[in-house]
Structure 1
Amino acid sequence: MLNNLLFKFFSQNTSHSESPRISRKFSQLLFWLALSLVCLPSNGFAQTECPSVNVKIQNISNNTGVIACAIFESEEGFPGKFLKYASKVMITQISGTDASFEFSDVLPGKYAIAVIHDENYNGELDKNFFGVPKEGYGFSSGAEVTLSAPSFSDAEFLYDGGVLQMSIDLSY
């Protein structure tokens, strides 16, 4: 009896002349849509690199501790107070003699980067009695330490909002 009811229901719904025509038009629309997607150039859907500042740290002397890389938007706190004033800080365990960092969501502008090899995990660059660093350090734009740490303007670089690759060598 249930089979008879189902048969009657489906036979009544397919007896209308509009239903097959709508179904055929819908099928044709789906076919042309699928065909047009297949014909699109493949690079239209290719994944592109996201805008970011990519920093490769080189010359890590040992695997003790962590590498901290901080990006600053202004001279305030640069370079020593990165935990308080840096706009972004990334820290990674050391594996080998190189480390890499990727800063995304960075707006175009002027920035400076400071890197430290924090061998004792205290979150700062340790110095001796005379103020000479006892741990590795490095700065963007090849800024060097003379009698004091470099200024923000010495390490400054311009970021245009695209993909920027840079390398920073650590000094010990």
Structure 2
Amino acid sequence: MLNNPLFTHSSQNTQQCDTTGISRKFSQVIFWVVLSLIWLPSDGFAQSECPSVNIKIQNISNSTGVIACAVFESGEGFPDKFLKFASKVMISQISGKDASFEFSDIKPGKYAIAVIHDENYNGKLDTNFFGIPKEGYGFSSGAEVTMSAPSFSDAVFSYDGGDLQMSISLNY
């Protein structure tokens, strides 16, 4: 009777039923795991926001042109050659008296920021015959213009890799 093909076929069907039963149990376990994850608060699995340097530009005199904000890692080209030497540059249209920039993917270190209000879209800070700026400008760490533009070391700040909030007021 064990050699009967009908018996052999029937035992194969029994194995298939066992496999189907295991598969069904596995599906039920997966269903309950997924359902329990849905019930958990979403904050438990939310990725934390990427740390960044957030800069608020204040005291914009008018809405003509754009605001350019440049992050420098060294004194090379600081502050006026930002298109060539800055490690990160953001340009934003103006709406109102304030603008905001968020720089992420910045490694801990020392940096300086230069901001210009490029009213005529030429990518530089325009000056008069004596070298006095005709457009708005500002720098990190409260660096000021005296007889010339501030140096990198005047505007430098340390960044530890976390969230950093900074305000820069433009001077005209």
- Report if TM-score (shorter chain) is over 0.5: yes
Q: Structure 1: which 5+ runs fail to align? A: 1-11
- Rate the CA distance shift 1:169–1:13 in 2: closer, same or farther, 3 A: farther
CA contact (8 A) 1:72 1:87 kept: yes
User: Which residue identity does 2:153 align to in structure 1?
Assistant: S
Question: What residue is the counterpart of 1:111 in the other structure?
Answer: 111
| Cα RMSD, aligned residues only | 2.1
TM-score by length of 1: 0.84
Instruction: Specify whether residues 127 and 14 from structure 1 end up closer, same or farther in structure 2 by C-alpha distance, changes over 3 A only.
Output: farther
Supply the distance in 2 between the matched residues of 1:93 and 1:170 (Cα, whole angstroms): 15
Asked whether 1:89 is paired with 2:89, we answer yes
Q: Which runs of 4+ in 1 moved over 4 A?
A: 12-15, 38-41
Q: Which residue of 1 aligns with 2:3?
A: none
Percent identity between matched residues is 79
Structure 2-normalised TM-score? 0.84
Give the deviation of 1:34 after TM superposition: 2.5
Report the more deviating stretch, 14-23 or 59-68.
14-23
Matched AA of 2:136: G
Q: SS of the counterpart of 1:17?
A: helix
Q: 1:16 to 1:77 in 2, by over 3 A?
A: closer
How many residues align? The count is 161
Cα distance, 1:162 vs structure 2: 1.6
CA distance in 2, matches of 1:89, 1:154: 20
CA distance in 2, matches of 1:116, 1:72: 14
Aligned partner of residue 101 in structure 1, secondary structure: strand
SS in 2 for 1:97: coil
Q: Is this contact kept in 2: 1:49–1:163, CA < 8 A? A: no
Task: Give the corresponding residue for 1:144.
Answer: 144
Give how far 1:165 is off.
1.2
Summarize the alignment of residues 1-172 of structure 1 with structure 2, pairs less than 5 Å apart: 16-38=16-38, 40-172=40-172
Structure 2 unaligned blocks of 5 or more: 1-11
Partners of 2:104 and 2:88 in 1: CA distance: 10
